[in-house]
Protein backbone atom coordinates (compact mmCIF):
# COMPACT_ATOMS: atom_id res chain seq x y z
CA UNK A 1 0.00 0.00 0.00
CA UNK A 2 1.44 3.39 -0.98
CA UNK A 3 1.84 6.03 1.70
CA UNK A 4 -1.30 8.23 1.66
CA UNK A 5 0.84 11.21 2.78
CA UNK A 6 2.49 11.15 -0.67
CA UNK A 7 -0.62 12.87 -2.09
CA UNK A 8 0.11 15.85 0.17
CA UNK A 9 3.83 15.85 -0.60
CA UNK A 10 3.10 15.79 -4.34
CA UNK A 11 0.50 18.57 -4.10
CA UNK A 12 1.45 21.53 -6.31
CA UNK A 13 0.18 25.08 -5.73
CA UNK A 14 -2.00 26.49 -8.48
CA UNK A 15 -2.85 29.71 -6.64
CA UNK A 16 -1.05 32.24 -4.48
CA UNK A 17 -2.95 31.37 -1.28
CA UNK A 18 -3.70 28.17 0.64
CA UNK A 19 -6.70 27.63 2.93
CA UNK A 20 -7.09 24.51 5.09
CA UNK A 21 -10.54 23.83 6.52
CA UNK A 22 -11.54 21.43 9.28
CA UNK A 23 -14.79 19.50 8.81
CA UNK A 24 -16.64 18.37 11.98
CA UNK A 25 -17.84 21.30 14.05
CA UNK A 26 -16.41 23.71 11.49
CA UNK A 27 -18.07 23.02 8.12
CA UNK A 28 -20.78 20.81 9.57
CA UNK A 29 -22.85 21.14 12.73
CA UNK A 30 -22.08 17.46 13.27
CA UNK A 31 -20.16 17.37 16.55
CA UNK A 32 -23.17 16.95 18.82
CA UNK A 33 -24.81 14.20 16.79
CA UNK A 34 -21.56 12.31 16.19
CA UNK A 35 -20.46 12.34 19.81
CA UNK A 36 -23.79 12.09 21.61
CA UNK A 37 -25.46 9.54 19.30
CA UNK A 38 -22.44 7.57 18.05
CA UNK A 39 -19.20 7.88 20.05
CA UNK A 40 -20.68 8.04 23.56
CA UNK A 41 -23.11 5.09 23.30
CA UNK A 42 -20.34 2.91 21.82
CA UNK A 43 -17.92 4.08 24.54
CA UNK A 44 -20.36 2.95 27.21
CA UNK A 45 -21.25 -0.30 25.44
CA UNK A 46 -17.83 -1.55 24.37
CA UNK A 47 -15.89 -0.55 27.49
CA UNK A 48 -18.62 -1.87 29.82
CA UNK A 49 -19.39 1.44 31.49
CA UNK A 50 -23.14 0.87 31.87
CA UNK A 51 -23.00 1.20 35.68
CA UNK A 52 -21.50 4.68 35.39
CA UNK A 53 -23.06 5.75 32.10
CA UNK A 54 -23.95 9.23 33.37
CA UNK A 55 -20.34 10.00 34.29
CA UNK A 56 -18.94 8.26 31.21
CA UNK A 57 -21.14 10.49 29.07
CA UNK A 58 -20.05 13.64 30.90
CA UNK A 59 -16.39 12.73 30.48
CA UNK A 60 -16.69 11.84 26.81
CA UNK A 61 -18.59 15.03 25.99
CA UNK A 62 -16.21 17.19 27.99
CA UNK A 63 -13.12 15.82 26.23
CA UNK A 64 -14.59 15.88 22.74
CA UNK A 65 -17.01 18.80 22.71
CA UNK A 66 -16.61 21.20 25.61
CA UNK A 67 -12.91 21.56 26.40
CA UNK A 68 -9.60 22.41 24.81
CA UNK A 69 -9.24 18.86 23.43
CA UNK A 70 -12.43 19.31 21.35
CA UNK A 71 -11.95 17.80 17.89
CA UNK A 72 -8.98 15.62 18.87
CA UNK A 73 -8.23 12.33 17.15
CA UNK A 74 -10.47 9.64 18.66
CA UNK A 75 -7.65 7.53 20.09
CA UNK A 76 -5.92 10.12 22.32
CA UNK A 77 -9.45 11.33 23.17
CA UNK A 78 -10.31 7.84 24.42
CA UNK A 79 -7.25 7.79 26.69
CA UNK A 80 -8.17 11.17 28.17
CA UNK A 81 -11.84 10.29 28.69
CA UNK A 82 -10.92 7.04 30.48
CA UNK A 83 -8.42 8.91 32.66
CA UNK A 84 -10.94 11.59 33.69
CA UNK A 85 -13.63 8.97 34.32
CA UNK A 86 -11.33 6.81 36.45
CA UNK A 87 -10.58 9.80 38.66
CA UNK A 88 -14.21 10.45 39.53
CA UNK A 89 -15.24 9.43 43.04
CA UNK A 90 -18.64 8.16 41.84
CA UNK A 91 -16.85 5.62 39.67
CA UNK A 92 -14.63 4.43 42.49
CA UNK A 93 -17.65 4.26 44.80
CA UNK A 94 -19.32 1.86 42.38
CA UNK A 95 -16.13 -0.21 42.00
CA UNK A 96 -16.28 0.06 38.22
CA UNK A 97 -12.99 -0.92 36.64
CA UNK A 98 -11.57 1.26 33.89
CA UNK A 99 -10.39 -0.41 30.68
CA UNK A 100 -6.62 -0.91 30.44
CA UNK A 101 -5.20 1.78 28.15
CA UNK A 102 -1.57 0.57 28.27
CA UNK A 103 -1.48 -0.89 24.75
CA UNK A 104 -3.30 2.13 23.31
CA UNK A 105 -0.90 4.61 24.96
CA UNK A 106 2.07 2.63 23.70
CA UNK A 107 0.65 2.63 20.14
CA UNK A 108 -0.14 6.38 20.26
CA UNK A 109 3.46 7.09 21.34
CA UNK A 110 4.99 5.40 18.30
CA UNK A 111 2.36 5.67 15.52
CA UNK A 112 2.13 8.96 13.60
CA UNK A 113 -1.02 7.98 11.66
CA UNK A 114 -3.68 7.16 14.23
CA UNK A 115 -6.27 5.73 11.85
CA UNK A 116 -8.54 2.75 11.47
CA UNK A 117 -6.19 1.28 8.85
CA UNK A 118 -3.12 1.39 11.11
CA UNK A 119 -5.19 0.10 14.05
CA UNK A 120 -6.47 -2.80 11.96
CA UNK A 121 -2.92 -3.72 10.97
CA UNK A 122 -1.82 -3.73 14.65
CA UNK A 123 -4.65 -6.03 15.70
CA UNK A 124 -4.10 -8.30 12.71
CA UNK A 125 -0.44 -8.60 13.64
CA UNK A 126 -1.37 -9.83 17.10
CA UNK A 127 -1.58 -6.72 19.30
CA UNK A 128 -4.38 -8.10 21.47
CA UNK A 129 -4.28 -5.08 23.79
CA UNK A 130 -5.86 -3.04 20.99
CA UNK A 131 -8.57 -5.55 20.06
CA UNK A 132 -11.31 -3.87 22.10
CA UNK A 133 -10.31 -0.43 20.83
CA UNK A 134 -10.83 -1.71 17.30
CA UNK A 135 -14.23 -3.18 18.17
CA UNK A 136 -15.25 0.22 19.59
CA UNK A 137 -13.80 2.24 16.70
CA UNK A 138 -15.49 0.03 14.08
CA UNK A 139 -18.79 0.32 15.96
CA UNK A 140 -18.45 4.12 15.98
CA UNK A 141 -17.86 4.17 12.21
CA UNK A 142 -20.91 1.99 11.64
CA UNK A 143 -23.04 4.21 13.89
CA UNK A 144 -21.87 7.37 12.08
CA UNK A 145 -22.66 5.84 8.67
CA UNK A 146 -26.05 4.72 9.99
CA UNK A 147 -27.11 7.86 11.89
CA UNK A 148 -25.33 10.96 10.58
CA UNK A 149 -27.25 12.05 7.49
CA UNK A 150 -28.87 15.26 6.41
CA UNK A 151 -26.61 17.47 8.56
CA UNK A 152 -26.00 20.41 6.24
CA UNK A 153 -23.07 22.83 6.33
CA UNK A 154 -23.50 25.93 8.52
CA UNK A 155 -25.05 28.97 6.81
CA UNK A 156 -22.57 30.83 4.56
CA UNK A 157 -20.20 27.83 4.35
CA UNK A 158 -20.97 27.24 0.69
CA UNK A 159 -20.67 30.93 -0.17
CA UNK A 160 -17.39 31.17 1.76
CA UNK A 161 -15.92 28.09 0.07
CA UNK A 162 -16.89 29.54 -3.28
CA UNK A 163 -15.29 32.86 -2.43
CA UNK A 164 -12.06 31.47 -1.01
CA UNK A 165 -11.53 28.77 -3.65
CA UNK A 166 -11.50 31.46 -6.35
CA UNK A 167 -8.22 32.79 -4.96
CA UNK A 168 -6.78 29.98 -2.86
CA UNK A 169 -5.98 26.30 -3.11
CA UNK A 170 -8.39 24.85 -0.56
CA UNK A 171 -8.06 21.57 1.30
CA UNK A 172 -10.14 19.73 3.90
CA UNK A 173 -7.91 19.04 6.93
CA UNK A 174 -9.49 16.65 9.40
CA UNK A 175 -8.94 13.73 11.78
CA UNK A 176 -12.12 11.97 10.65
CA UNK A 177 -11.75 8.84 8.47
CA UNK A 178 -11.52 9.88 4.79
CA UNK A 179 -14.38 7.57 3.87
CA UNK A 180 -16.78 9.52 6.12
CA UNK A 181 -15.42 12.90 4.98
CA UNK A 182 -15.89 12.07 1.30
CA UNK A 183 -19.43 10.86 1.97
CA UNK A 184 -20.36 14.02 3.88
CA UNK A 185 -18.70 16.56 1.52
CA UNK A 186 -20.20 14.84 -1.53
CA UNK A 187 -23.66 14.56 0.07
CA UNK A 188 -23.79 18.35 0.26
CA UNK A 189 -21.99 19.08 -3.01
CA UNK A 190 -19.10 21.00 -1.44
CA UNK A 191 -16.30 18.57 -2.42
CA UNK A 192 -15.94 20.59 -5.66
CA UNK A 193 -14.39 23.48 -3.69
CA UNK A 194 -11.39 21.56 -2.29
CA UNK A 195 -8.44 19.96 -4.07
CA UNK A 196 -7.79 17.25 -1.47
CA UNK A 197 -9.80 15.79 1.40
CA UNK A 198 -7.23 14.82 4.02
CA UNK A 199 -8.42 12.59 6.87
CA UNK A 200 -6.72 10.68 9.71
CA UNK A 201 -5.04 8.32 7.19
CA UNK A 202 -2.76 11.16 6.02
CA UNK A 203 -1.37 11.91 9.49
CA UNK A 204 -2.09 14.73 11.90
CA UNK A 205 -3.47 18.14 10.94
CA UNK A 206 -0.03 19.63 11.59
CA UNK A 207 1.42 17.16 9.09
CA UNK A 208 -1.30 17.88 6.55
CA UNK A 209 -0.37 21.58 6.49
CA UNK A 210 3.34 20.82 6.67
CA UNK A 211 3.39 18.48 3.68
CA UNK A 212 0.74 20.18 1.54
CA UNK A 213 1.55 23.83 2.11
CA UNK A 214 4.27 24.92 4.54
CA UNK A 215 7.22 25.12 2.15
CA UNK A 216 5.12 25.95 -0.91
CA UNK A 217 3.36 29.22 0.05
CA UNK A 218 4.47 32.25 2.05
CA UNK A 219 3.41 31.71 5.72
CA UNK A 220 1.11 34.76 5.72
CA UNK A 221 -0.64 33.26 2.67
CA UNK A 222 -1.64 30.07 4.49
CA UNK A 223 -4.85 30.15 6.55
CA UNK A 224 -6.35 27.36 8.66
CA UNK A 225 -10.05 27.54 9.56
CA UNK A 226 -11.17 25.39 12.50
CA UNK A 227 -13.25 25.07 15.65
CA UNK A 228 -10.72 23.47 18.01
CA UNK A 229 -7.39 24.31 19.68
CA UNK A 230 -5.88 21.41 17.68
CA UNK A 231 -6.66 23.34 14.50
CA UNK A 232 -5.01 26.46 15.94
CA UNK A 233 -1.92 24.46 16.94
CA UNK A 234 -1.68 22.84 13.50
CA UNK A 235 -1.62 26.32 11.95
CA UNK A 236 0.86 27.83 14.39
CA UNK A 237 3.30 24.90 14.28
CA UNK A 238 3.56 25.68 10.58
CA UNK A 239 3.76 29.46 11.03
CA UNK A 240 0.36 29.84 9.34
CA UNK A 241 -2.62 32.07 10.15
CA UNK A 242 -5.75 30.86 11.96
CA UNK A 243 -9.41 31.76 11.76
CA UNK A 244 -11.63 30.33 14.54
CA UNK A 245 -15.17 29.03 14.10
CA UNK A 246 -16.07 29.69 17.73
CA UNK A 247 -18.01 26.78 19.35
CA UNK A 248 -21.52 27.99 20.16
CA UNK A 249 -21.13 30.98 17.82
CA UNK A 250 -20.55 29.17 14.55
CA UNK A 251 -22.98 31.18 12.44
CA UNK A 252 -21.54 34.51 13.56
CA UNK A 253 -18.06 33.17 12.83
CA UNK A 254 -18.91 32.15 9.28
CA UNK A 255 -20.54 35.54 8.69
CA UNK A 256 -17.38 37.24 9.90
CA UNK A 257 -15.21 35.04 7.69
CA UNK A 258 -17.37 35.62 4.65
CA UNK A 259 -17.94 39.36 5.10
CA UNK A 260 -14.63 40.47 6.54
CA UNK A 261 -11.83 38.02 7.38
CA UNK A 262 -11.34 36.49 3.92
CA UNK A 263 -10.98 39.94 2.37
CA UNK A 264 -8.42 40.87 5.03
CA UNK A 265 -6.52 37.62 4.45
CA UNK A 266 -6.33 38.16 0.68
CA UNK A 267 -5.33 41.80 1.23
CA UNK A 268 -2.48 40.78 3.59
CA UNK A 269 -4.23 42.67 6.36
CA UNK A 270 -4.92 39.76 8.71
CA UNK A 271 -1.85 39.09 10.80
CA UNK A 272 -1.39 41.07 14.06
CA UNK A 273 -4.10 42.71 16.13
CA UNK A 274 -6.96 41.33 14.04
CA UNK A 275 -5.91 37.68 14.34
CA UNK A 276 -4.91 38.12 18.01
CA UNK A 277 -8.38 39.44 18.83
CA UNK A 278 -10.09 36.49 17.16
CA UNK A 279 -7.84 33.96 18.89
CA UNK A 280 -8.41 35.56 22.29
CA UNK A 281 -12.17 35.24 21.95
CA UNK A 282 -11.77 31.65 20.74
CA UNK A 283 -9.45 30.71 23.60
CA UNK A 284 -11.99 31.91 26.15
CA UNK A 285 -14.73 29.70 24.67
CA UNK A 286 -13.34 26.33 25.86
CA UNK A 287 -12.06 25.37 29.34
CA UNK A 288 -8.95 23.31 30.05
CA UNK A 289 -10.23 21.36 33.05
CA UNK A 290 -13.63 19.96 34.04
CA UNK A 291 -15.84 21.74 36.59
CA UNK A 292 -16.50 18.58 38.63
The least distance separating Mg ion from the CB of residue 29, rounded to whole angstroms, comes to 11
Closest to Mg ion by CB, 71 or 199:
71
Is 250 a binding residue for Mg ion by CB under 5 A? The answer is: no
CA distance 146 to 155: 24
How far apart are CB 267 and Mg ion at their closest, in Å? 27
Q: Residue 165's CB: how many other CB atoms inside 10 A?
A: 17
Per rule CB under 5 A, is residue 24 in the interface with Mg ion? yes
3-state secondary structure the chain: CCCCCHHHHCCCCCCCEEEEECCECCCECCHHHHHHHHHHHHHHHHCCCHHHHHHHHHHHHHHHCCCCCCCCCHHHHHHHHHHHHHCCHHHHHCCCCCCCCHHHHHHHHHCCCCCHHHHHHHHHCCCHHHHHHHHHHHHHHHHHHHHCCCCCECCCHHHHHHHHHCCEEEEEECCCCHHHHHHHHHHCCCHHHCCEEECHHHCCHHHHHHHHHHCCCCHHHEEEEECCHHHHHHHHCCCCEEEECCCCCHHHHHHHHHHHHHHHHHCCCCCCHHHHHHHHHHHCCCCCCCCC
End-to-end CA distance of the chain: 46
Q: Is 229 in the site for Mg ion (CB under 5 A)?
A: no
Examine residue 71 and tell whether it contacts Mg ion (CB under 5 A).
Answer: yes
Nearer to Mg ion, 227 or 250 (CB): 227
Q: How far is the CB of 21 from Mg ion (least distance, A)?
A: 10
**With contacts defined by CB under 5 A, how many residues of the chain interact with Mg ion?**
7
State residue 29 phi and psi, 5-degree precision. Answer: -85, 55
CB of 228 to Mg ion, least distance (A): 5
Which residue, 5 or 26, is less far from Mg ion as judged by CB? 26
Q: C-beta of 135: minimal distance to Mg ion in Å?
A: 25
Q: Which of 8, 19, 21, 25 binds Mg ion (CB under 5 A)?
A: 25
Output 68 or 167, the one with its CB closest to Mg ion. 68
Of 20, 22, 99, 257, the one binding Mg ion (CB under 5 A) is: 22
Q: Which stretch binds Mg ion (CB under 5 A): 36-44, 102-110, 123-131, 228-236?
A: 228-236
C-beta closer to Mg ion: residue 30 or 88: 30
Nearer to Mg ion, 41 or 71 (CB): 71
* Residue 196 burial (C-beta neighbours within 10 Å; 0-12, 13-18, 19+): middle
CB of 79 to Mg ion, least distance (A): 19
Contact call for residue 153 and Mg ion (CB under 5 A):
no
CB 54 to Mg ion: min, Å: 26
Least Cβ distance, residue 178 to Mg ion (angstroms): 15
Closest CB to Mg ion among residues 72, 96: 72
Residues within the interface to Mg ion (CB under 5 A):
22, 24-26, 71, 227-228
Amino acid sequence: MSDPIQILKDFKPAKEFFVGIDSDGCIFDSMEIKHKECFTPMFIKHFHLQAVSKYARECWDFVNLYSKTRGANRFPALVRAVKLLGERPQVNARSVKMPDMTALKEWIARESKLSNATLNAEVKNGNTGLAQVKVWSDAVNAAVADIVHGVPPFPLVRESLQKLSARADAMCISQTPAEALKREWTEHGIDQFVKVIAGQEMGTKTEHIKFAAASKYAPEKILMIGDAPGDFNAAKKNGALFFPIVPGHEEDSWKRLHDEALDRFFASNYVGAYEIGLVKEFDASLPENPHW
